[in-house]
């Protein structure tokens, strides 16, 4: 059967050695194919690395700034994020609840409420975040994002706000603000605070619309007692979040919801998936364009070797072996291009390892939660896609010239000079 | 061994038909050293190509050891050529990307002969054609005569029943041509391989034990010079 003969020929060292020698016989032509493939693959690899670098920075920023690796809420919080849906610690508190929980690096409770903050000049609707200053510093970068003043400490009646919010309220560090909110029992409550510090993060929503205060003060203000709204957890590096989530659910019981960052930020997850799909499509488009170039080069090679094909046929080479030879030659040229492309792409990524400074577009990027310095990221799967697409392309591109080669009658080929 | 029965071959180029062979009947027996002689366009190469299963007749029948070549597929014809036929062409016989020894080994590689065995046989035959010292040279590094001798070595090494040689001396000077003919005669006598040449070289015709003369696509004479 021709197919069996073809597959046998593909696995034959003779086919590979012969194709290797043929690929190397016209250096200029080989260099053109390899260069074209290399530039395509290298360029794509770099583009994908920058794209994924940006997305991963966004994910990292979201995890580090606010959401953590996992969050625990009272059941129904996702549908109705209100004070009523809260976590009431059992006796012994959260410490007892999470004792011996392998894979948890840090945790912090938070109170989440809504309120109105008044400065002497204006007022702004805000999210109220009650945090444990010490624990919060271990689960998020908020404590380290202070650009003016200081992070929350033991001093009472202090707020930390975003510098954007400070501009809107026209206050600075030490300025006085009044926070008004609806407590758990429905009463309107309010208290005066001093601004202790200003922070700047990658989250515009946080910078423009959140006030941070001590957990105990927020619980007292909103009438929550010892309850809180969410528990943020950071996992040990490399921990399996799904497994950790399962174990937490078992430990915490059915009254609470445990979600990973993937469930909390489905938009980011969708973006990663979308970029993956786009990557495949763009790779396919690049390789289809290259396939015409490869086919053209191989066709020229076949026409140059017509007499040689006649001799090979005369001495007993089967049509299937001829096709396999052209296919392997195409594969070798393409894979050489992919290898050089990898070197180019990985080299470029290494050169950009300190990140690309996009601060010139900082305002616009901040609106989407994109950091202004992007470090390109190459995942192992980014190296699989071009190889897979290249192999398919190389074989398809070789079919036309290979079939032309086997259609030449031996006697006719031998007349060719 | 080889037989053409009422073979005709018509080429058609842009609607113009040319009779290359006209009702040729010819038998070539085992161990013959036969020349197909005639002027250019007489049909020598065409007949050789038909015997070598490189082309198909327009009508008539070509057989090799009783096997009708028209009944075989392209792959079966390739297998038949690999097993039973050897070829020596006028020029550019060798695969340029392979060395002399690799060219000689190539057919055996296609036949699946183990590497050590094919290397041994290739070096042995190159030694016989006095080219062992050029075994690693590529065709472009060898003279025309040396290339033709490598081609003979390649044609012989796999143990074919018949070697078909299309004007093998056409591009060689008379001394080199004589050496090549001596070599092929030696192979014919020592190994019993049948040789069929197409030629218009008097040196080849002189050497051949039988000369079949063609003119305008037809056999016009069949001369035996000595008994085999």
Does residue A213 share a domain with residue A105? Answer: yes
pLDDT score recorded for residue B197: 93
What CATH number did the domain enclosing B134 receive? 3.40.50.300
Does residue A126 share a domain with residue A20? Answer: no
A310-329 residues touching B, CB cutoff 8 A: 310-321
CA distance A413 to chain B (A): 10
In a domain, B124, yes or no: yes
Query: Which of A188, A221, A238 is the C-terminal boundary of a domain?
Result: A238
CB A412 within 8 A of CB A310: yes
Does residue A283 share a domain with residue A227? Answer: no
Nearest CA in chain A to B78: A316
In a domain, B62, yes or no: no
Nearest to A314 among B54, B74, B97 (CB): B54
CB A86 within 8 A of CB A76: no
Does residue A7 share a domain with residue A109? Answer: no
Token code pair at residue A43: 């360029």
What is the enclosing helix (H) or strand (E) of A96?
A: helix A93-98
Q: Residue B107 and residue A316: Cβ atoms within 8 Å?
A: yes
Does residue A146 share a domain with residue A16? Answer: no
Does residue A233 share a domain with residue A87? Answer: yes
Average pLDDT over residues A337-343: 93
CA distance A47 to chain B (A): 39
CA distance A245 to chain B (A): 59
In a domain, B18, yes or no: no
More confident residue, A108 or A52: A108
Does residue A115 share a domain with residue A30? Answer: no
- What is the rounded CA–CA span in Å between residue B153 and residue B88? 9
pLDDT digits (tens, 9 = 90+) for A208-266: 999 999 999 999 999 999 899 999 999 998 889 999 999 888 888 777 889 999 999 88
- The pTM of the full predicted model, rounded to 2 decimals, is 0.73
The residue among B160, B129, B161 whose CA lies nearest residue B147 is B129
Size of interface A-B (CB pairs under 8 A): 78
In a domain, B61, yes or no: no
Question: How many domains does chain B fold into?
Answer: 1
Question: How many domains does chain A fold into?
Answer: 2
pLDDT digits (tens, 9 = 90+) for A52-106: 888 888 888 889 988 999 999 988 888 888 888 888 887 666 777 777 788 899 9
Instruction: Output the CA–CA distances (angstroms, integers) from residue A179 to A37, A189, A193, A413, in the order listed.
Output: 62, 8, 7, 92
Q: Residue A409 and residue B93: Cβ atoms within 8 Å?
A: no
Q: Residue B89 and residue A311: Cβ atoms within 8 Å?
A: yes
Domain extent, residue B182, equals 30-56+71-224
The residue among B101, B112, B207, B117 whose CA lies nearest residue B153 is B101
- What is the rounded CA–CA span in Å between residue A59 and residue A66? 11
A319 interaction partners in chain B (CB closer than 8 Å) = 74-75, 78
Query: Which of A192, A221, A238 is the C-terminal boundary of a domain?
Result: A238
In a domain, A132, yes or no: yes
Does residue A178 share a domain with residue A129? Answer: yes
Nearest CA in chain B to A4: B75
B145-204 residues touching A, CB cutoff 8 A: 154, 166
Token code pair at residue A413: 């080929």
Asked if B136 reaches chain A (Cβ–Cβ under 8 Å), the answer is no
The residue among B219, B222, B221 whose CA lies nearest residue B42 is B219
CA distance B186 to chain A (A): 22
In a domain, A250, yes or no: no
What does each of the 228 residues of chain B score in pLDDT, given as a tens digit? 899 999 999 998 888 999 999 999 999 999 999 999 999 889 999 999 999 999 999 999 999 999 999 999 988 999 999 999 999 988 778 999 899 999 999 999 888 899 899 999 999 999 988 899 999 999 999 998 899 889 989 998 988 999 999 988 888 888 888 888 998 898 899 889 999 999 989 999 999 999 999 999 999 999 998 554
Nearest CA in chain B to A413: B54
pLDDT digits (tens, 9 = 90+) for A145-179: 999 999 999 899 999 999 999 999 999 999 999 99
**Contact residues for A313 (Cβ-Cβ < 8 A; gap 6+):** A319, A322, A410, A413, B54, B78, B81
Instruction: Output the CA–CA distances (angstroms, integers) from residue A371 to A203, A206, A247, in the order listed.
Output: 9, 14, 33
In a domain, B1, yes or no: no
**Contact residues for B182 (Cβ-Cβ < 8 A; gap 6+):** none
In a domain, B20, yes or no: no
CB A108 within 8 A of CB A212: no
Q: Where are the beta strands (DSSP E) in A17-103?
A: 70-74
Domain extent, residue A163, equals 70-238
In a domain, B217, yes or no: yes
Backbone angles phi, psi at A297, to 5 degrees: -65, -45
Token code pair at residue B52: 């070598």
pLDDT-derived band of residue A409, with 50, 70 and 90 as boundaries? confident
Asked if A403 reaches chain B (Cβ–Cβ under 8 Å), the answer is no
DSSP state of A185: T
Q: Say if residue B15 is exposed, middle or buried (CB neighbours under 10 Å; 0-12, 13-18, 19+).
A: exposed
Token code pair at residue A360: 């010139």
Nearest to B110 among A316, A410, A412 (CB): A316
In a domain, B149, yes or no: yes
Q: Residue B78 and residue A313: Cβ atoms within 8 Å?
A: yes
Does residue A51 share a domain with residue A192? Answer: no
In a domain, A27, yes or no: yes
Nearest to B107 among A313, A315, A318 (CB): A315
Does residue A97 share a domain with residue A35? Answer: no
In a domain, A188, yes or no: yes
Does residue A356 share a domain with residue A325? Answer: yes
């Amino acid at each position: 059967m021709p197919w069996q003969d073809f597959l046998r020929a593909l696995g034959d060292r003779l086919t590979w050695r012969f194709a290797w020698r043929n690929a190397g016989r016209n250096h200029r032509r080989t260099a053109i194919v390899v260069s074209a493939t290399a530039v395509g693959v290298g360029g794509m690899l770099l583009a994908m690395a920058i794209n994924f670098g940006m997305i991963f920075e966004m994910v990292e920023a979201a995890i580090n700034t606010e959401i953590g690796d996992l969050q625990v809420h009272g059941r129904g919080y996702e549908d109705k994020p209100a004070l009523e849906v809260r976590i009431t610690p059992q006796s012994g508190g959260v410490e007892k609840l999470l004792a011996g929980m392998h894979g948890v690096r840090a945790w912090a409770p938070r109170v989440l409420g809504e309120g109105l903050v008044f400065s002497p000049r204006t007022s702004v609707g805000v999210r109220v975040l009650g945090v444990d200053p010490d624990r919060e510093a271990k689960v998020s970068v908020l404590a380290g994002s202070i650009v003016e003043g200081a992070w929350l400490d033991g001093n009472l009646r202090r707020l930390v706000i975003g510098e954007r919010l400070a501009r809107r309220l026209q206050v600075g560090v030490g300025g006085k603000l009044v926070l008004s909110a609806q407590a758990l029992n429905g009463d309107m409550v309010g208290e005066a605070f001093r601004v202790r510090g200003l922070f700047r993060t990658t989250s515009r929503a946080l910078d423009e619309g959140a006030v941070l205060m001590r957990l105990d003060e927020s619980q007292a203000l909103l009438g929550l007692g010892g309850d809180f709204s969410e528990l943020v957890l950071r996992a040990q590096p490399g921990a399996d979040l799904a497994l950790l989530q399962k174990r937490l659910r078992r430990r915490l019981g059915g009254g609470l919801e445990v979600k990973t960052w993937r469930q909390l930020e489905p938009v980011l997850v969708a973006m990663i998936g979308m970029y993956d799909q786009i990557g495949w499509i763009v790779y396919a488009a690049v390789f289809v364009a290259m396939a015409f170039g490869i086919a053209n080069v191989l066709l020229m090679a076949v026409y140059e070797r017509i007499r040689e094909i006649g001799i090979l046929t005369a001495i007993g080479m089967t049509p299937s072996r001829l096709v396999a030879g052209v296919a392997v030659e195409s594969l070798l040229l393409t894979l050489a291009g992919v290898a050089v492309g990898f070197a180019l792409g990985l080299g470029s990524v290494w050169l950009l390892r300190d990140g690309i400074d996009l601060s010139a577009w900082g305002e616009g990027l901040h609106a989407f939660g994109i950091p202004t310095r992007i470090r390109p990221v190459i995942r192992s799967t980014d190296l699989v896609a071009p190889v897979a697409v290249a192999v398919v392309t190389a074989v398809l591109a070789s079919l036309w010239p290979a079939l032309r080669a086997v259609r030449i009658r031996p006697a006719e080929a031998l007349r060719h000079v | 061994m080889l037989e053409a029965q009422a073979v005709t071959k018509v080429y058609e180029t842009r609607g113009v038909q040319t009779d290359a062979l006209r009702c040729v009947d010819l038998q070539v027996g085992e161990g013959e050293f036969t020349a197909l002689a005639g002027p250019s366009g007489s049909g020598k190469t065409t007949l050789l190509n038909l015997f070598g299963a490189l082309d198909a007749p327009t009508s008539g029948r070509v057989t090799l050891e009783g096997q009708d070549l028209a009944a075989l597929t392209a792959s079966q014809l390739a297998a038949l050529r690999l097993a039973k036929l050897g070829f020596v062409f006028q020029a550019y016989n060798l695969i340029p990307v392979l060395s002399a020894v690799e060219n000689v080994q190539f057919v055996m590689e296609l036949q699946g002969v183990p590497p050590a065995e094919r290397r041994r046989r290739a070096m042995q035959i190159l030694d016989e054609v006095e080219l062992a010292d050029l075994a690693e040279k590529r065709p472009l590094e060898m003279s025309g005569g040396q290339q033709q001798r490598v081609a003979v070595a390649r044609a012989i090494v796999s143990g074919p029943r018949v070697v078909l040689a299309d004007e093998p001396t056409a591009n060689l000077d008379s001394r080199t041509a004589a050496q090549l003919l001596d070599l092929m005669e030696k192979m014919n006598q020592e190994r019993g391989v049948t040789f069929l040449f197409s030629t218009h070289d008097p040196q080849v015709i002189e050497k051949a034990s039988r000369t079949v003369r063609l003119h305008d696509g037809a056999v016009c004479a069949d001369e035996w010079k000595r008994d085999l």
